[in-house]
């Protein structure tokens, strides 16, 4: 069976390539358990573009280039700039939207996959998502936020940023993406609940523009995988809700 139709062989292949590249994506984190079912269809795209925030030592770049032989891979990193036959690392700071915007202007391929493996600061994760998901990612594309463990940290420091979050912290990335999961069911919400949800998303750094084009959200160990809707998906949100009376309380 071809790997597209065989999830186990796709996982094994992804793990072997990741281990070979030396990235902790397939060793410590074990992301091969979750990613291939979301990524296999992208391998068929000829003009495939990928963006990863966070270059590190280029280990995951090697994985992406091997796993997606058709891809051109862009990385954004605040400390590195380099270029190769099928990749380009652009120096930009995820904390600074203008800097990310300038980096995006250098991208010359349609982007079908974005991986946020940068600062891991929850506020950066949500801001980057709100910025890149609606404007840069193609319809049906995949957005992965890695290392969401920081959302649970009561105190800590990473890449020079202080983390002050914890379970159920309203502005953590994990809470933000849980709200997006609610927003994919917005059709079932009463008006007052919808307003509350939109207010909470804004507090968590998620724009309506980003949330409205989410098709699905998957939560796995230390990562969140989001897929972007297509034009035909939109029709499911544009029809009247069948059980509307149930969303209103009795006076």
Ligand X SMILES: C[S@@+](CC[C@H](N)C(=O)[O-])C[C@H]1O[C@@H](n2cnc3c(N)ncnc32)[C@H](O)[C@@H]1O
Residues that bind ligand X (CB under 6 A): 23, 25, 52, 54-56, 59-60, 76-79, 93-95, 117-119, 159
Q: Which is nearer to ligand X, 40 or 117 (CB)?
A: 117
Tokens 């966070």 identify what position? 54
Shortest distance, position 117 Cβ to ligand X, whole Å:
4
Shortest distance, position 90 Cβ to ligand X, whole Å:
10
Q: How far apart are CA 147 and CA 71, in angstroms?
A: 24
Q: Which is nearer to ligand X, 52 or 182 (CB)?
A: 52
Check if the beta carbon of residue 48 is closer than 8 Å to that of residue 68.
yes
- The one catalytic residue in 29, 32, 120, 124 is 120
Mark whether 38 is an active-site residue. Answer: no
Q: How far apart are CA 186 and CA 189, in angstroms?
A: 5
Q: Which is nearer to ligand X, 60 or 163 (CB)?
A: 60
| Alpha carbon of residue 189 to chain centroid | 25
Shortest distance, position 19 Cβ to ligand X, whole Å:
12
**CB neighbourhood size of 244 (10 A):** 11
Shortest distance, position 141 Cβ to ligand X, whole Å:
18
Q: Which is nearer to ligand X, 52 or 198 (CB)?
A: 52
Q: Reduced to 3 states, what is the DSSP secondary structure of residue 6?
A: coil
Shortest distance, position 4 Cβ to ligand X, whole Å:
24
Q: Which of 133, 151, 130 is nearest to 141 (CA)?
A: 133
Q: Nearest residue to ligand X, using CB?
A: 56
Tokens 């919808």 identify what position? 194
Distances (CA, A) of 99 to 62, 66, 79, 121: 25, 29, 13, 17
Q: How far apart are CA 180 and CA 218, in angstroms?
A: 11
Beta bridge partners of 68: none
Structure tokens at 43: 């391998």
CA dihedral 61, 144, 91, 149 (to 10 degrees): -100
Q: Which is nearer to ligand X, 48 or 90 (CB)?
A: 90
Residues marked active site are found at 120
């Amino acid at each position: 069976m071809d790997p597209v139709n065989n999830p186990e062989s796709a996982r094994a292949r992804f793990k072997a390539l990741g281990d070979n590249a030396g990235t902790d994506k397939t060793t410590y984190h074990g992301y091969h358990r979750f990613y291939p079912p979301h990524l296999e269809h992208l391998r068929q795209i000829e003009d495939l573009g990928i963006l990863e925030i966070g270059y590190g030592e280029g280990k995951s770049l090697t994985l992406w280039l091997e796993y997606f032989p058709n891809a051109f891979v862009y990385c954004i990193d605040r400390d590195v700039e380099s270029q190769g036959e099928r990749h380009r690392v652009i120096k930009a700071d995820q904390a600074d939207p203008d800097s990310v915007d300038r980096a995006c202007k250098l991208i010359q391929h349609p982007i079908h996959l974005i991986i946020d493996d940068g600062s891991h600061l929850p506020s950066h994760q949500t801001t980057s998502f709100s910025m890149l998901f609606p404007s840069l990612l193609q319809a049906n594309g995949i957005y992965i936020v890695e290392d969401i463990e920081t959302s649970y940290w009561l105190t800590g420091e990473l890449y020079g940023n202080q983390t002050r979050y914890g379970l159920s912290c309203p502005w953590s990335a994990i809470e933000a993406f849980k709200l997006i999961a609610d927003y994919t069911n917005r059709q079932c919400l009463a008006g007052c609940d919808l307003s509350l949800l939109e207010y909470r998303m804004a507090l968590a750094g998620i724009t309506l523009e980003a949330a409205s084009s989410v098709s699905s959200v998957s939560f796995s160990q230390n990562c969140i995988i989001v897929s972007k809707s297509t034009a035909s998906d939109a029709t499911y949100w544009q029809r009247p809700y069948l059980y509307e009376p149930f969303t209103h309380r009795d006076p």
